[in-house]
Amino acid sequence: MKIGPLNIPIKEDFSFKSILDFEKTPLNIFLAVSVLAMLAMFAIGVITYLIHGHHAYGVTREHPWGLLIAVYIFFVVSSTGFCIVGSLGDVFGFKRFEMISKRAIFGSIVTIMAGFAVIAFEIGHPVTMLIYNVLTPGLTSAIWWMGTLYGLYLTFMIIEFYFLLNNDMKKAKIFGLTGLLVGLAAHSNLGGVFGFLNARTISNGVYYPTYFILTAFITGIYLSFIVMGFRYKLNFDQKVKDLLEGLAKIQGLLIAILFFFMTWKLLTDMYGGMPNRAEVAHHMLHTAPFWAEVIFAMLIPFLVIVKDFGRSPKLMVFASLIGMVGIFFMRYNLVHDTQVKPLQMMKLTEYQLPPEWIEYFPSATEIMISLGGLGLCIALYYVGTKAFDLDESH
C-alpha cells in the first residue's frame, strides 16, 4: 500500500498500466470490450442529446419521463442497496457481513455516480438545478428532498469509504450510520416522487416510499452476490460461503415480503374501486415487462434460495444476474405504468380516436446513454478494484 493524496491508501502497483493488466480469459476480454462499447455508446448518446435535446428521446407531452428516469432509479436503488448491505457489518456490527462492507460501500459510490451521470442528461438544466436548488428551494417537492439528500448521502459515503480504507472503524461507523439514514430518507423520497402524484392513482400513496427501501435491500443483495462472484471467480472459501449463505437467507425473506407487498398492492389496485387505478393494474398484468419483473427479479432467485435455503452461492450468483435484469424491469415498469393512463381523455385533433393508453418506447439515444451508465458503473468499479484494497482488512 502506498499513501496517495489526502492520506488515501492506494495499491502499490496502481497505475494506468495496471488497469490494462488483467487476466486475458474469454469472459474478461468480452467484458472489457463490452464496457468500452458501452462507454462509446454513452459518448454518442450524449452528443446526440446535446445536438437534438429531448427530441432525441422517445418522451412526449403525455409520457414526459422515459428510460433515463428508470435507469437513474435503477442506479440509485442499487446504491442504497449496496449501502444497506455494507452497513450490516460496519454499522450494525454483524461480524459475518464485515468482509463485504468496504466493497459494498465502494459499490454504493460508483452506482450513484453512474445514476447522476445518466440523470444529468435527462434533466434539461442540471446547472440551473444546482443554483436554484439552493437559492429558491421547493421544500414541498419530493424531488428537491431526494436530490439534496442524495447529494449529502454521496458525501457521507465517500467519507465513510475513506475511513474504511484507513481502518478507522469508529469514524467509519459514525459516517456509515449517518449516510445510511440520509440514504434511506433520500430513497424513500424517491418513492415519494411517485407517491405524491395524486393525478396518478396507480402510484399515489405510501406504497412506493416503503417499497423502495425493501427493493433497495433486495437489489443490494443481488449486487453483492455478483461482485463477490467476480471477486472470487466462483471459488468461495468457507468464510465467503458463510457470508453469502447469510445474505441468501435474508434475500429469501425479503423476496417473500415483496411477494406479499405486491400481491396486496395489486389486489387493492384491482378491487379497491379507485377511479382509473383498476384499469391500469389490469393493463399492467397483460404486459411482458411486468412478468419479466416478477419472474426475473423475484421468482427465479426465490426458487434458487428455497431449493436449499441459500446454500448454493454459485447458483445464486447467476440467479442474481437474472435478478438484476428483473430489477431493471421493475424500475422501468414503475416509471411507465405511472404514466400509462392518459390524463387527457378527449380527442384534441380531428380524425383521431380518444386516447386509451399512452405508448412509449425508448429511443436509440436513451438506450445508448443507459447502457453507457452501466458501462461507466462497471468501469469505475473496476478501476476501484485496481486502486483500492476492497477486501476485509485484518
For residue 177, state whether it binds other proteins (rule: CB under 8 A). Answer: no
* Residue 10 DSSP SS3: strand
Cell for 278? 383498476
Binding residues among 8-47 for other proteins as defined by CB under 8 A:
none
Nearest distance, CB of residue 100 and other proteins, angstroms? 35
Nearest distance, CB of residue 114 and other proteins, angstroms? 19
324 close to 222: Cβ distance less than 8 angstroms: yes
Nearest distance, CB of residue 121 and other proteins, angstroms? 11
Of 122 and 269, nearer to other proteins (C-beta) is 122
Of 78 and 339, nearer to other proteins (C-beta) is 339
* Residue 9 DSSP SS3: strand
Binding residues among 117-176 for other proteins as defined by CB under 8 A:
123-126, 128-129, 132-133, 135-138, 140-144, 147
Nearest distance, CB of residue 366 and other proteins, angstroms? 14
For residue 339, state whether it binds other proteins (rule: CB under 8 A). Answer: yes
Of 19 and 143, nearer to other proteins (C-beta) is 143
The rounded Cα 304 to chain-centroid distance in angstroms is 22
For residue 272, state whether it binds other proteins (rule: CB under 8 A). Answer: no
For residue 343, state whether it binds other proteins (rule: CB under 8 A). Answer: yes
CA dist., res. 149 & res. 146, Å (int): 5
Nearest to 228 by CA among 145, 310, 316: 316
| Only segment of 54-62, 153-161, 265-273, 293-301 that touches other proteins (CB under 8 A) | 54-62
Of 103 and 341, nearer to other proteins (C-beta) is 341
19 close to 386: Cβ distance less than 8 angstroms: yes
| Only segment of 50-58, 81-89, 252-260, 279-287 that touches other proteins (CB under 8 A) | 50-58
Nearest distance, CB of residue 89 and other proteins, angstroms? 35
For residue 347, state whether it binds other proteins (rule: CB under 8 A). Answer: yes
Nearest to 150 by CA among 119, 124, 196, 184: 184
Of 65 and 328, nearer to other proteins (C-beta) is 65
Nearest to 150 by CA among 133, 128, 170: 133
CA dist., res. 343 & res. 221, Å (int): 38
Q: Which of 49, 72, 163, 196 binds other proteins (CB under 8 A)?
A: 196
Q: Which one-letter amino acid corresponds to residue 156?
A: F
Of 49 and 217, nearer to other proteins (C-beta) is 49
CA–CA distance from 2 to each of 8, 98, 163 (Å)? 8, 24, 16
Q: How far apart are the first and last CA of the chain?
A: 14
Other C-beta atoms within 10 Å of 151: how many?
15
Residue with cell 456490527: 93
Nearest distance, CB of residue 149 and other proteins, angstroms? 12
Nearest distance, CB of residue 176 and other proteins, angstroms? 28
Nearest distance, CB of residue 206 and other proteins, angstroms? 17
For residue 353, state whether it binds other proteins (rule: CB under 8 A). Answer: yes
DSSP letters along 352-378, please?
-PPP-S------HHHHHHHHHHHHHHH
296 close to 336: Cβ distance less than 8 angstroms: no
Q: Which of 13, 47, 55, 168 binds other proteins (CB under 8 A)?
A: 55
Nearest distance, CB of residue 65 and other proteins, angstroms? 6
Nearest distance, CB of residue 41 and other proteins, angstroms? 23
State which H helix or E strand residue 3 sits in: strand 2-3
45 pairs with which residues across the strands? none
For residue 354, state whether it binds other proteins (rule: CB under 8 A). Answer: yes
10 pairs with which residues across the strands? 2
Q: Which one-letter amino acid corresponds to residue 299?
A: L
The contact set with other proteins (CB under 8 A) reads 53-55, 59-62, 64-65, 123-126, 128-129, 132-133, 135-138, 140-144, 147, 193, 196-200, 275, 338-339, 342-344, 346-349, 353-354
